Structure 1
């Protein structure tokens, strides 16, 4: 076995047996932007032994305010290549598969069928590819955590984790939920989202490339915080740590939604 001295603090926290569990796990991260780049690094630094990362984009100057591989010296370079170099610099023994590809329905099926993934991380910020990934992963019975919208928000203390169908105050989550329900999916997807109301003035229309017709302004730290929350769901779930907060939040949200429906009927 390779030298794991660099994971000494992790071992001190979770113990030898759980550390070995991470070493033997394979995590798939799709999307290496503001959320995904940090999520991938956190997964690597936690000691996960095998990773597959997927992104077909290159660094744009506008990425520098929030994305890990985006520097003044990396404009135009593939994010997948930059993150591969960084992850292997953290852990040279990491078994890493890097795929420089945008996610189409065909690519989604191909990638998710390529190996036995212990967890899938959806860090895509466009609705159509996100839906493609979620539907494919759900049909295959894969564990998945999906990042919702980090744009248009400022407060990291409002970040929550719950079943996707118990989320609130997130426009992206609302769109995804509605479309998934039409496809017969109504539970079973972990989500990271924020209860903070969006700053509507930060909305910007785009050229529609990469399935994006609009985007919201973003601050440096919030996508990274989303990435950390996504990584925490994966690590805790892989290690079978209880996640009581999510269960309580889901129950609370369902009660609130039920009460809203009752009130709307009365009015």
Structure 2
């Protein structure tokens, strides 16, 4: 049985429950790729993935879907094949679009039980968060994982409790303007490494962030 080991840990009823849940993952890079991997291997049978980017050679050091053999391919195409290879019974919808204020209402619907926000663009991230908040759609958002080496101290909390995260600081300010009272995020409590001016990243921080986000989603969707 494909998810027998899951059943031993969370129980048969929860395995069956997860089959009927729908998860939307927006952003399929360093964080989103690991989140999608964990969501698929946890037995979610309805997954929608959104990204308009292609795999670049510079992604090979940290993104789980990136290989030398698929450089130049669309990330959603590669991730689609990967999820189907993990679980052929999974219904996977791929959307090659960049989330913005105009299309968010067409992509994000109340049919989804959870939204995983792994977007890099600050504007798109805020548009998505605001839409989900106003429409009572559950969402968890990743904060900045760049310029951090250590995977330690990457935790899940409310955005208004975050510290040492420049991205969270900016988003908090914008959310206050929109009267958004809370947002579940995964962020690093490690201070940003300012050694290099150019954005840098390795697999450790984004990988752990993606796994943590997927864990939060699964834990919220099962009955413990």
For this structure pair, what is the TM-score category when the shorter chain's length is used for normalisation? over 0.9
Q: 1:134 aligned to 2:112?
A: no
SS of residue paired to 2:2? helix
Specify which of 134, 138, 145 is matched with residue 140 of structure 2: 145
Q: Deviations over 1:123-163 (max 9, x none)?
A: 01120110011011111101111011111111212111101
What are structure 2's unaligned runs of at least 5 residues? none
C-alpha contact 1:152 1:203 (8 A) present in aligned 2: no
Question: Greater helix percent: which structure?
Answer: 1
Provide the rounded CA distance (Å) in 1 between the counterparts of 2:142 and 2:72: 25
How far residue 240 of structure 1 moved from its aligned partner, in angstroms, is 4.1
SS of residue paired to 1:161? strand
> Which residue matches 2:168?
173
> Which residue matches 1:185?
180
What are structure 1's unaligned runs of at least 5 residues? 205-215, 242-267
SS of residue paired to 1:162? strand
Specify which of 43, 48, 51 is matched with residue 44 of structure 2: 48
Provide the rounded CA distance (Å) in 2 between the counterparts of 1:18 and 1:69: 28
> Which residue matches 1:233?
216
What's the C-alpha RMSD, in Å, of the aligned pairs? 1.1
Q: Deviations over 1:56-93 (max 9, x none)?
A: 00011111111122112212110000000000000000
How far residue 220 of structure 1 moved from its aligned partner, in angstroms, is 1.9
How far residue 117 of structure 1 moved from its aligned partner, in angstroms, is 0.3
Q: 1:105 aligned to 2:101?
A: yes
> Which residue matches 1:255?
none
C-alpha contact 2:28 2:76 (8 A) present in aligned 1: yes
C-alpha contact 2:150 2:204 (8 A) present in aligned 1: no
C-alpha contact 1:34 1:66 (8 A) present in aligned 2: yes
Q: 1:159 aligned to 2:154?
A: yes
C-alpha contact 1:120 1:142 (8 A) present in aligned 2: yes
C-alpha contact 2:154 2:205 (8 A) present in aligned 1: no
TM-score (norm 1): 0.82
SS of residue paired to 1:6? coil
Q: How many residues align?
A: 224
> Which residue matches 2:111?
116
> Which residue matches 2:205?
222
Q: Deviations over 1:196-227 (max 9, x none)?
A: 010012332xxxxxxxxxxx210122211110
Q: 1:36 aligned to 2:28?
A: no
C-alpha contact 2:23 2:44 (8 A) present in aligned 1: yes
Specify which of 71, 79, 83 is matched with residue 75 of structure 1: 71
SS of residue paired to 1:156? coil
TM-score (norm 2): 0.97
> Which residue matches 1:61?
57
> Which residue matches 1:201?
195
